[in-house]
Chain A
Amino acid sequence: MRLAGLAFRNIQRNRRRSLLSGAAIGVAALAIVFMFALKEGMIEDIAGNVFKYVTGHLRIRHAEYDANEELNPLHLRIEDSSRLLAQLERRGEIAAAVPRIPFFTAFYRGERTVNGYGLGVDFRREAGVMDLDRMLQAGGYPEAGARQAVLSVGLAEELGLGVGGKVTLLTKNMYLGMSGMTLQVTGLVRLPVAGFNNRLFLLPLDTAQSLLKMGDSVTEILILLQDRGALEPEAAALNHLLAAGGRQDLAATAWTRLGSWYSLIRYTDAAYNLMALFFLVLGTTVIINTTMMVVYERMREIGTVSALGMTQGQIVRLFFLEAFFIGAIASLSGTLLGIGITVPLSLHGLDISKLSEGMSLEVSNVLYPRLNWKSTLLVFLYAVTVASLASLFPSLRATRIEPVEALRRV
């Protein structure tokens, strides 16, 4: 009888106990696989939303814009934006470049004033960046140059407007004077980011330029790269290009250096890893407890096999193998169950709209957990390793006892 065979028999001695300790590891593996998939999905989702709606992979703005952003500094602008866009679009590294003008405004509805957040966009170009089709809930998108807008559903509800309705807005233009315009609502949109759905409205870029008296200027250009990995080199190349074109006032910045999104993603990653560790520690505690019980219950048997000539190393290996088998079976089952739960959710999505309501995070209403095979495999291997190593402490302690002492134990 080989050691492995004996170990396998031993785990069947008390099936209920083996099942219990296996269940602890299995549930931990299942939870971690699902958590990691959720994390991957969430990070990918946040990153995707940040890229599409906030920063792009790279963002070109006036070098001083960010420091004054709260003041809506339209004068810190990108002049002659069409020429720059044409230059950018010629670069093979760039998948899309979209000009935008974000601005704060106030809507007037009878006696009521409602704050809004406008975004002047080039709908033709945005088709390659924003999910325009998925966003549209009713009506259609405005024509270029028309005094039209699409409203986010929350804003439309607050204004009491539907498709075809009209609303007047008042805002501060580039020269710090006041400008007003009456816009016709052509459609309603629901953005994937819950936080955007209460205040945002989109209007054609040239309409915004006219309203804000900005000529051909925009306040930012968002850039999506062909290769997200080439973030820093492309930022450097663009800054070089801007400087060479005499546009030292502008700066191209990688999204990782903008706002707190990158930190948020890293924090999310670390928090989930910590939670995973917590689950694993809980599972490990159960298996340590079980192995300890098993070892002390079988003390006399340890004395017997020691008398028969098994060395300390072989005895420790025996208990290690027992824990390994439980750990391997449980981890495999837990991991497979985790995959089984995650795969359908990754196809159909997990509706978290109730949870994300009112959140300022760029998290979509529907999350799609993403299985990362590397991390799933890592969870399996880690759970097996931890479960197996957990047996070492009690079995090493047990084998330090003299065989004669062990034989006396009942």
Chain B
Amino acid sequence: MIKVDNVFKDYRVGETVVHALRGLSLEVERGEFLSIAGPSGSGKSTLLNLIGCLDTATSGEIYICGQAVSGRSKKELALFRRERIGFVFQSFNLIPVLSAYENVSFVLSLLGENGSRLKERTLGILEEVGLAGLEDRRPAELSGGQQQRVAIARALIKEPDLVLADEPTANLDSANGREILKLMLECNQRHGTTFIFSTHDPMVMEYARRLVGLQDGKVSRDERK
């Protein structure tokens, strides 16, 4: 489903060129629950951003569902993300002026969905992530764990091919972190959605069905459980 083929990513920081990814290659099958682990600066977030079409590779190619990502315009990439990729961010990144319901339904309205179907799907996914009854609360009125559940619902509501989660438990205590991981695993098993998350949290790695280790911008290990 995802093929990362000999990808390089360089950043220029002042006079210095930082080689974040150095010829990285990786293949991910549909429905995988994969964790990318590694120390800071190993290239985890860079890889996630490239797969999520939030950034472009210096060289190499990334294929998602058989389609090459490079060479696409900003608008095409935005539309691709809108339809096929869900994101869960470390600090939730919910829109503060919108309620839990609106944060989730916003994604569907971007896809042109409206009316009773939108309402039905939104309430359904909020119930699935355990937020029934909290639909009208704004992010500031929710706990960190609840906010991350809204973020997961937001990522899943459009039934994407892929959900990318950048350190999804980093801002949560261990109990909430575990709950979120269980939830993501359940969604993975129920919907068959591919999950890729970056982490250096051993608990997250414990839940992963496949663990890809990165070191200096290259795959250092690839273990399936």
Identify the A interface with B (CB < 8 A): 1-2, 6, 9-10, 12-13, 300-301, 303-314, 402-404, 407
Chain A: CB-nearest residue to B96: A13
- Min CB distance B144 to A, Å, is 17
Taking the complex as formed, is B12 at the interface, i.e. its CB lies under 8 A from any CB of chain A? no
Q: Mark B82-124, 1 if CB is under 8 A from A, else 0.
A: 1100010100010111100010011101110000000000000
Partner of B78, one of A6, A10, A306, A404: A306
Q: CA separation between A310 and B96, bound complex, in Å? A: 17
Q: How many A-B residue pairs have CB under 8 A?
A: 69
Q: Which residues of B contact A403 (CB under 8 A)?
A: 54-55
Q: How far is the CA of A300 from the CA of B107 in the complex (A)?
A: 17
Q: Is B74's CB under 8 angstroms from A301's CB?
A: no
Give the A-binding residues of B (Cβ under 8 A): 49, 52, 54-55, 74-75, 78-79, 81-83, 87, 89, 93, 95-98, 102, 105-107, 109-111, 154
Are A304 and B78 closer than 8 Å at their CB atoms?
Answer: no
Residues from chain A with a CB closer than 8 A to the CB of B97 are 6, 9-10, 12-13
Closest to B50 in A: A404
Whole-angstrom distance from the CB of B137 to the nearest CB of chain A?
15
Closest CB in chain B relative to A105 CB, distance in Å = 78
* Nearest CB on B from A280, distance (A): 29
Q: B105–A312 contact, CB under 8 A?
A: no
Across the interface, A311 reaches (CB within 8 A) one of B49, B54, B79, B107, namely B79
- What residues of chain A lie closer than 8 Å to B49, measured between beta carbons? 404
> How far in angstroms is the closest Cβ of chain A from B113?
11
25 A-B residue pairings within 8 Å (CB atoms): A1-B106, A2-B109, A6-B98, A6-B106, A10-B97, A12-B97, A13-B97, A300-B93, A304-B89, A304-B95, A305-B95, A306-B54, A307-B81, A307-B87, A308-B107, A309-B82, A309-B83, A309-B111, A310-B82, A313-B75, A402-B55, A403-B54, A404-B55, A407-B89, A407-B93
Q: A402-B54, A404-B49 are in contact. Are A312 and B93 (CB under 8 A)?
A: no
The distance in angstroms between the C-alpha atoms of A309 and B77, with both chains bound, is 8
Provide the bound-state CA to CA distance between A314 and B82, in Å: 13
Contact A407 B54 (CB under 8 A): yes
Residues of B within 8 A of A313 (CB): 75
What residues on A are CB-neighbors of B55 within 8 Å?
Answer: 402-404
Q: Assess whether A310 is in contact with B98, with CB atoms less than 8 Å apart.
A: no
List of B residues within 8 angstroms of A308 by Cβ: 81-82, 87, 106-107, 110, 154
